[in-house]
Amino acid sequence: MACPMAPSAGFFRNYLNWVITSVAWLLADWFGWRTALAVYPPLLRNKVAIVTGANAGLGLETTKALLQQGATVIMACRSMQAAATAREDILADPRNAGPVPDPAGRLIPLHVDFEDFETIPTFVEAFHATGLPLHVLVNNAGVHLKPHKKVSCGFERTIASNFFGHFWLTQLLLDDLKAAAPSRVVEMSSFAENFGLLGMYTRSLPWGDLRGATLPDSGERPYTLSKTYILMAARELARRLEGSGVDVITVHPGFADSTWYLKSDNDAYFFSWLIAKVRAVIPWLGVGQPCTTGAISSIYAAIAPELQGSTSSVASKGLIDSVCRALFGGRLKYFGPHYLIQNCFNAWPRWATNPWNYNKGACVRMYEGGLELIRQVEQELGLQQQQQPGGGAVNENGAGPQAVLPAGKADGVVGDGNTRKRKGGSAAVVNGAGAQPVPAA
């Protein structure tokens, strides 16, 4: 008779898989994300993902990885010309195709600009016109140290692009994510939230001005605030989505050699000025870790099968989950390198350090503040909320608002002219081919 405590063959098999994948992700810290994905089968076959800011930097690498894993990827981009160029570059490298057929048909650019709020519900409408489900939403796009500017509805551009635009997009897509569960939302935060531990920028939050309308610049304080807002709202979203099958996972890329510094205001901000001067002397010098490793945390969060149910399941899944629940009031996961050690442990869990992230009441207030901003923006833009069966738009259970444009705005051109809504509901993309529904798994 076998000992009831003896490990089974399945235990050893699972343990061996854990060792192999853990080593692969560690090697990826030095050799790039392809090293880690080499040990996985196509995990996202028949799955659909949206990646914001998919045409450059971390978003571009994330898009390549998800496409390689078999997903249909919606490239949510501000510039459709840049999206078309990125799409051609992705398809030109056969490594990105993966084993799933028709990579060209699985890569669909759609227009959205998080500084122009009217494009957000228009993007959602264009996505719905494709008839595709949604399994993964990667809220990657963002700005940093750009010239100061007020955008839609008086928002400061950093708060608008990094936090509110993605918060609204997520609310509009929650029903899609629930319908396709198990699914997940990946939120991009930053090591800048760490400044709060030092008493910088977020010692007090501007509760009366979550739009950032009174901020005098678009520098480090708006950036730090936006990334702190993301973590706080994500914690509350994870709590509200428990039991829904939708996981909420936050990540940060460390200090990555992305494209943000190419668009920053070197005259207004010392940090971007310093980088520009250093690169002028040493043009080949990277600013932080390359995007092939900086994107590891978001790629891991988007595809890792072991994360399924890590925040949406009500039942605890072990000691780490229990500790997370005790600290966060919900098992919100946060992945990325240690703040002081780059290029290491990009796919490993860590703790957020800003004290606001552990204030449950403040996180609820931040989430509710975001919902109130949605209501205000919809009213200011003349948008209407489409009532859903069984309830309203935004509610306590996390159901998102279904905003629709006023009559006339939803017809004809969607985006900037490169994506048009055709009769019959299909969306034509930059190459002129309509999006094809993904067969059921």
Q: How far is residue 185 from each of residues 31, 173, 220, 301, measured CA to CA in Å?
A: 26, 10, 26, 9
pLDDT score of 316 more than 80? no
Segment 340-354, tens digit of pLDDT: 666 678 888 877 778
280 contact partners, CB below 8 Å, separation of at least 6: none
Residue extents of the structural domains in the chain: 9-255+288-428
- In which band, very low, low, confident or very high, does the pLDDT at 282 lie, cut at 50, 70 and 90? low
SS3 of residue 144 by DSSP: coil
pLDDT score of 380 more than 90? yes
- In which band, very low, low, confident or very high, does the pLDDT at 289 lie, cut at 50, 70 and 90? confident
* Encoded tokens for 261: 């510094």
- In which band, very low, low, confident or very high, does the pLDDT at 22 lie, cut at 50, 70 and 90? confident
- In which band, very low, low, confident or very high, does the pLDDT at 35 lie, cut at 50, 70 and 90? very high
- In which band, very low, low, confident or very high, does the pLDDT at 405 lie, cut at 50, 70 and 90? very low
SS3 of residue 234 by DSSP: helix
| Percent of residues, the chain, with pLDDT higher than 70 | 68
Most confident of 131-140, 148-157, 334-343: 131-140
Is there a catalytic annotation at residue 223? yes
- In which band, very low, low, confident or very high, does the pLDDT at 196 lie, cut at 50, 70 and 90? low
Q: Go through 111-144 and write b for each residue having 16 or more CB atoms within 10 A of its CB, e for each that does not.
A: bbbbbbbbbbbbbbbbbbbbebbbbbbbbbbbbb
- In which band, very low, low, confident or very high, does the pLDDT at 112 lie, cut at 50, 70 and 90? very high
Once rounded to an integer, what is the mean pLDDT over residues 193-219? Answer: 81
pLDDT at 21: 83
Which of 99, 167, 103 shows the shortest CA–CA distance to 139? 167
What is the spatial distance between Cα 401 and Cα 222, in angstroms, rounded to a whole number?
Answer: 26
- In which band, very low, low, confident or very high, does the pLDDT at 78 lie, cut at 50, 70 and 90? very high
pLDDT score of 402 more than 60? no
Is residue 151 within 8 Å of 116, Cβ to Cβ?
Answer: yes
CATH classification code of 9-255+288-428: 3.40.50.720
Given the DSSP bridges, would you call strands 419-421 and 72-77 parallel, antiparallel or unpaired? unpaired
pLDDT score of 91 more than 80? yes
| Percent of residues, the chain, with pLDDT higher than 90 | 48
pLDDT at 408: 40
- In which band, very low, low, confident or very high, does the pLDDT at 421 lie, cut at 50, 70 and 90? very low
pLDDT score of 433 more than 70? no
What is the spatial distance between Cα 180 and Cα 389, in angstroms, rounded to a whole number?
Answer: 18
Q: Go through 393-428 and write b for each residue having 16 or more CB atoms within 10 A of its CB, e for each that does not.
A: bbeeebbbbbbbbeeebeeeebbbebbbbeeeebbb
Least confidently predicted of 26-30, 315-319, 397-401: 397-401
pLDDT at 352: 78
Once rounded to an integer, what is the mean pLDDT over residues 65-90? Answer: 97
pLDDT at 113: 97
SS3 of residue 329 by DSSP: coil
Most confident of 10-19, 49-58, 323-332: 49-58
- In which band, very low, low, confident or very high, does the pLDDT at 33 lie, cut at 50, 70 and 90? very high
Which of 148, 79, 83, 75 shows the shortest CA–CA distance to 116? 79
pLDDT at 136: 98
| Catalytic one of 223, 229, 261, 269 | 223
What is the spatial distance between Cα 292 and Cα 167, in angstroms, rounded to a whole number?
Answer: 26
pTM value? 0.80
- In which band, very low, low, confident or very high, does the pLDDT at 238 lie, cut at 50, 70 and 90? very high
Q: Tell me, what amino acid is at 17?
A: N
What is the spatial distance between Cα 373 and Cα 209, in angstroms, rounded to a whole number?
Answer: 10
- In which band, very low, low, confident or very high, does the pLDDT at 83 lie, cut at 50, 70 and 90? very high
DSSP string, 166-196: HHHHHHHHHHHHHHT-SEEEEEE--GGGGGG
Q: What share of the chain is helix, strand, coil (3-state, %, to 5)?
A: 45, 10, 45
Once rounded to an integer, what is the mean pLDDT over residues 54-66? Answer: 95
What is the spatial distance between Cα 222 and Cα 160, in angstroms, rounded to a whole number?
Answer: 10
Segment 152-194, tens digit of pLDDT: 999 999 999 999 999 999 999 999 999 999 999 999 988 777 6
Phi, psi of 66 (to 5 degrees): -70, -40
Is residue 163 within 8 Å of 75, Cβ to Cβ?
Answer: no
Once rounded to an integer, what is the mean pLDDT over residues 198-227? Answer: 86
Once rounded to an integer, what is the mean pLDDT over residues 353-378? Answer: 93
